[in-house]
Amino acid sequence: MENRVDEYINNLKVWKEEMVLLRSTLLSCDLTETIKWGSPCYMWKNENIAGLTAFKNYTGLWFFQGGLLQDKNKYLTNAQEGKTKAMRQWRFFSREEILSAPIRDYILESVENYKLGIKIKPSSKNKVFEIPELLTKALIDDHQLNLAWNSFSPSCQREYAEYLAEAKLEETRKKRLDKMIVMIKNNMSLNDKYKK
Q: Check whether 125 has a pLDDT greater than 70.
A: no
- pLDDT at residue 81 is higher than 70: yes
The mean per-residue pLDDT over the stretch 122-138 comes to 76
pLDDT at 84: 79
pLDDT in tens, 132-151: 889 988 988 898 998 889 88
For residue range 88-115, list pLDDT tens digits in order: 999 999 999 999 999 999 999 999 999 9
* Model confidence, pTM: 0.62
CA distance 160 to 140: 16
How far apart CA 82 and CA 99 sit, in angstroms, is 31
pLDDT digits (tens, 9 = 90+) for 36-63: 888 999 999 989 999 999 999 999 999 9
What pLDDT, on the 0 to 100 scale, is given for residue 95?
94
